[in-house]
Structure 1
């Protein structure tokens, strides 16, 4: 059986219980999974309703490889010889370990030569997370050296299935979002087909998203509006309320379109304001980990900080009345809080 680092597994459990969503926790989850298994790098992909990648976080892939993946996926990486996230999403049988001993064709594929080897990797380990009857997450871990992954590494990675599935149950709907200073603007024509202007900050923001199939160039200047801007322009033209949200590593991108009034006969345009928001939930987890509390006590405190009443927290954490009193006594002593409400506010 794999040896476990209980503190790191507890950190992963808290992240997955936070309600922040799978994309927001991807960078931290990748770091932890890499450390659990002893890998050199990690990647996490979230899938759309058809089982194709919608977005991802990769710890160390070069921009050139990421650019190919997000803009040329269907052309270069779908095919019978390609063993990648799309193929793994639809594999029958086992949910993990297909890359422990891949077929010889894998080493001749675009996936290996343009993505895996281009990132300096040789060996890979995979895990698929299904939720509500469809593939939702693919985890990939990589090694660069001569030592391939083994069955013990696979057993360790499989332990992450339950917490990652828990992160999907809310998938960001329970997150409490906080704006970051990262804000940019783009100006597009009314159809959303032509990019008229884009600020440097907007380009930097878009190139952080790692969104697949959105026509966002990750190398060089962005010259066309992303697809989500075109959809927002269609909503405006149809008289619908328009505001966009894109799941990205560490948070979400919020896109707010505004129709601009132009002089008579002038060219109408839409101003797209983009801002990255980060879940307050993750900030709470980071602060919780610095407190000298047990895993159960941290879980209680996180639920309280997210706004749940004492009776709700007892039910959500499976804590009886007497046990709750003991845990609260320990929390109050460790933190200096003297009431439920004070404890709930302590992490802000």
Structure 2
């Protein structure tokens, strides 16, 4: 019985490692897959909650995903970050510095940490007491640059009444190789699906300041976790005057903003007749928002739910991502005979007839 349980635990952990690697190899960055990454890391190490903070190519914080942070704490973190930058504060900038160990800097933080705003205004309201952190560095043109900080949390009780161990720190450190792959440049996602309602914000034509917003727009902006845009529990009147600048958008532009759970499609257009009007010409502008979910994420989720071997999952994911059957020979390194054998097992489990049907079923 004990041996069977150990084997089940090992198999489950192997599946989680592969899921993490598959998600990071999608080439979407970390924002769109942050929720999935947090869930995997929490399960791998064992924690009450997880968080992921990602940074741009210059190492400046861009956004975050926290699994169970209250709205008030998220607003504070996004809008009042200066509270966590004084002496003795351990903020994301500090954890992102390429110095000291990349994992476990908060394993034994010292008495000063427990007197800091970082602990008393962020950690304690979340119910967190112990933190295990990981710095993710990627090689840039001028050397290593921190692109993400992952953190796991435990409370005094509720299942985990002790801090993290050195062995658990080593386990999280192992995740670094996969997390680094998320920042390898790849083509933009070609398969996107609408996820939720479309939101709209009305702006005046003269100064491009928000005048009103519908409920879906507020929800999408809240969930985007853009620095300076903490809007949890707020109404349209709380929208900042520099909303477009915070979103990196100019009149007439469209962009896909990487956010937790997908890409936020943004488009701003004039609300009057005419061709190529300027901001001075338009009486009003309309900002349209729609969360787009890359189908690659769902492909990984569906594949890991199938009772397949690790190699068979690698093959199945290639079909779901739109690769040709012939491509899988070079990408997996298997022979044609081995591919035929594994593909037969995959098709049977997925209840489809051929490679193309497998890809379509995994994309949904």
8 Å Cα contact 2:41/2:50 also seen in 1: yes
Matched, 1:220 2:220: no
In structure 1, runs of 5+ residues without a counterpart are none
* Structure 1 residue 292: Cα displacement: 2.2
Q: Secondary structure at 1:276's aligned position in 2?
A: strand
TM-superposed deviation, 1:53: 2.0
Question: Counterparts of 1:174-189 in structure 2 under 5 Å?
Answer: 174=189, 176-189=191-204
Q: Which has the higher contact order (CA 8 A, sep 6+)?
A: 1
Aligned to 2:309: 294
Alignment partner, residue 27 of structure 1? 35
CA distance, structure 2, for counterparts of residue 321 and residue 305 of structure 1? 19
1:41/1:143 contact within 8 Å kept:
yes
Q: How does 1:161-310 map to 2 (within 5 A)?
A: 161-170=176-185, 173-174=188-189, 176-190=191-205, 193-213=208-228, 215-222=229-236, 223-225=238-240, 227=242, 229-230=244-245, 235-236=250-251, 242-261=253-272, 268-310=283-325
Mapped contact 2:103–2:173 kept (Cα < 8 A): yes
Q: Secondary structure at the match of 1:229?
A: helix
Counterpart position of 2:54: 46
Distance 1:178 1:81 in 2: 45
Q: How does 1:53-68 map to 2 (within 5 A)?
A: 53-68=61-76
State the Cα deviation string for residues 251-286 of structure 1 (Å, max 9, x = none): 1111111111289x9972110011111111122122
TM-score of the aligned structures, taking structure 1 as reference length: 0.89
User: C-alpha distance in 1, partners of 2:297/2:211?
Assistant: 36
1:134 aligns with 2:145: yes
Displacement of 1:334: 2.9
Aligned-pair CA distance for 1:339 = 3.1
- How far, CA to CA, are the matches of 2:248 and 2:284 in structure 1? 10
1:56-75 CA distance string (max 9 Å, x none): 110111111110111111x2
Q: Report SS of the residue matched to 1:182.
A: coil
C-alpha distance 48-72 of structure 1, shift in aligned 2 (>3 A): farther
For these two proteins, the number of residue pairs brought into alignment is: 339
Q: Give the Cα separation in 1 of the matches to 2:187 and 2:262.
A: 9
What corresponds to 2:172 in structure 1?
157
Deviation at 1:55, TM superposition (A): 0.8
> Which of 338, 341, 356 lines up with 1:323 in the alignment?
338
Q: Compared with structure 1, are the counterparts of its residues 335 and 261 closer, same or farther at alpha carbon in structure 2 (3 Å cutoff)?
A: closer
Secondary structure of 1:156's aligned partner: helix
* 1:92-119: CA deviation from partner (whole Å, max 9, x where unpaired): 1321110011132211221111101121
Secondary structure, in 3 states, of the residue corresponding to 2:183? helix
CA-based RMSD of the aligned residues comes to 2.5
Structure 1 residue 328 displacement after superposition: 1.8
**Is the 1:232–1:243 contact (alpha carbons within 8 Å) kept by the matching residues of 2?**
no
User: What CA distance in whole angstroms lies between the structure 2 residues aligned with 1:172 and 1:105?
Assistant: 45
How far apart are 1:158 and its partner, in Å? 1.1
Q: Name the residue aligned to 1:36.
A: 44
Aligned pair partner of 2:327 in 312, 327, 334:
312
Residues 210, 241 of structure 2: 8 Å contact kept? no
- CA–CA distance in 1 between the matches of 2:248 and 2:154? 44
Using the size of structure 2 for normalisation, the TM-score is 0.85
